[in-house]
Amino acid sequence: MKTKIAYITKDDKMFFNKSEAIEHEAKLFGLTVDEYHTLKKLEQIERDCSFAISHSKNEETEKAFDKAINDVIIFRKAHNLDETDNLI
């Protein structure tokens, strides 16, 4: 028996091909696939920094968290996305 993995996009469309799902979701946000991946990476860094600061709050983790948030804000502004346009 072959298992299929379904990918559900923000607008609740189902894809069985990951690349097609990513292309569709990138278009929803008005991004290229590369820009979509960049934003996903920035948001993951932001989550990782949030986790780090919650476990070890110090000057170093605070600076990393501030930079991560700022990087996401800069990217979102450059691509006309607001905070409700989360990829997660």
Regarding pTM above 0.85, the answer is: no
CA dist 12 → 7, 9, 15, 37, 66 (Å): 9, 5, 10, 20, 32
**Total number of residues shown for the chain:** 88
Instruction: Render pLDDT for 24-63 as a digit per residue (tens, 0 to 9).
Output: 999 999 999 999 999 999 999 999 999 998 889 899 999 9
The span from the CA of 66 to the CA of 34, in Å, is: 24
Tokens for 22, please give them: 């990513």
**Position 84 confidence tier, pLDDT thresholds 50, 70, 90:** low
The 10 Å CB-count burial string (b at 16+, else e) for 34-50 is ebbeebeebbebbeebe
